[in-house]
Every structure is written in C-alpha cells, then in structure tokens.
C-alpha cells in the first residue's frame, strides 16, 4: 500500500466555500513534483477552530495513518490563528527547527516573517508541519525544510519517501 500524506487547509473562508482552496492544492502539486514515491493524499479543508484542527490532526495521524501531515494557514498572530497551538496539543515531541528555518527563509522575502508562528511536531509515526497560507510562501517554506523530511520520517519509523533529485534533493546521512 502506498504511504498517505495529509494535506489540511485551515481557513474559515475556504471551508465555508467563500473562495477556492488554492493553498491546499498548491501543497499537493509540490508533493507530486518533488516525490517519486507514489502516495495517497488525505485532503481536508476545515475552519480555524482549535478543537476541529486537533481532531483532524489526530484522525490523519491515528486513523488514516498519514506519515506526513502538512497544514496551511492559521499560523499568524490573529486571534483566529490557532494552528500551532493545535499542533502542539496533539504532538508528543516538537521540532522547533522547522519553524526557525521557515521564518529565516521568509525573512529573505518579507519583513513580516517574524510574525509567523509555523512549527512542526511528531505524533507517533507522523510528522506534522505547519505552513503559511499563501501558495508562494508555501513553496518557499516547504522548499527550505523538505530536504530533512524524508530522513525525519526514516528516524521515526514512518514510510520511506524518495524524491525526484532533479526537483528536490533529500538529505540522508551516509
């Protein structure tokens, strides 16, 4: 069976149908571009509600068996932005280096990167990575951290993901 990857767009407006879910689709397109491993996508669009986010992250990790879950949106300083809190609530171990690198990367493009609160953590054998909500920023941030993701999955005993070396080179120590 191919591994599963969860893509979770957290947006009040997209979940209500006010506008199309472009960020989530951008994530799926990047994953298809970068990975040679065939994978299934568990894809959802939900509102910015911490209990709903927590429940969906638990479902994707525990029931769906996703090795990787990427979230888009809800990482800013606004009251409704609670994705990092939901991620921390469901993870047994946090990986702050992901957020540190994403903010440092974003600072090359916008001074407001310091307002971003992206993070990552582990729930069992699932890596959860919070991304911003705009497709351009999603690409920039995911491009920065993705080289470490396949090896992280190896270390936690999750599915092995292989990359298209011409598009995304993963780092695995020899």
Three-state secondary structure call for residue 134: coil
Domains and CATH numbers, the chain: 4-155 (3.40.980.10)
CA 97/CA 120 separation, integer angstroms: 8
Residues 156-160 have a mean pLDDT of: 98
Residues 14-23 have a mean pLDDT of: 89
pLDDT at 27 over 90: yes
CA 10/CA 167 separation, integer angstroms: 27
- pLDDT of res. 117: 96
By the 8 A CB rule, do 83 and 20 touch? no
pLDDT at 17 over 90: no
- The CA distances from residue 154 to 55, 76, 102, in Å, are 25, 30, 21
Residues 7-14 have a mean pLDDT of: 94
Three-state secondary structure call for residue 130: strand
CA 84/CA 32 separation, integer angstroms: 25
Q: Identify the DSSP state of 163.
A: B
- Band of pLDDT at residue 14, cut at 50, 70 and 90: very high
The first and second tokens of residue 63, run together, are 């029931």
DSSP secondary structure string, 44-80?
A: EEE-S-HHHHHHHHHIIIIIS-EEEEEEES--SSSTT
């Amino acid at each position: 069976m191919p591994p599963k990857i969860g893509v979770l767009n957290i947006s009040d407006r997209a979940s209500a149908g006010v506008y199309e879910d472009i960020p989530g689709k951008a994530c799926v397109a990047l994953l298809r571009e970068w990975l040679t491993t065939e994978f299934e996508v568990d894809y959802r669009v939900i509102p910015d509600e911490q209990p709903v986010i927590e429940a969906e992250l638990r479902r994707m990790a525990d029931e769906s068996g996703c090795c990787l879950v990427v979230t888009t949106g809800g990482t800013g300083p606004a009251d409704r932005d609670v994705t990092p809190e939901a991620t921390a609530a469901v993870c047994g171990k946090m990986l702050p280096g992901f957020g540190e690198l994403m903010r440092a990367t974003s600072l090359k493009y916008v001074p407001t990167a310091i307002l971003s609160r992206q993070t990552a953590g582990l729930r069992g054998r699932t890596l959860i990575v919070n991304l911003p909500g705009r497709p351009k920023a999603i690409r920039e941030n995911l491009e920065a951290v993705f080289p470490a993701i396949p090896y992280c999955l190896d270390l936690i005993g999750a599915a092995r993901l292989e990359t298209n070396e011409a598009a995304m080179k993963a780092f695995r120590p020899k």
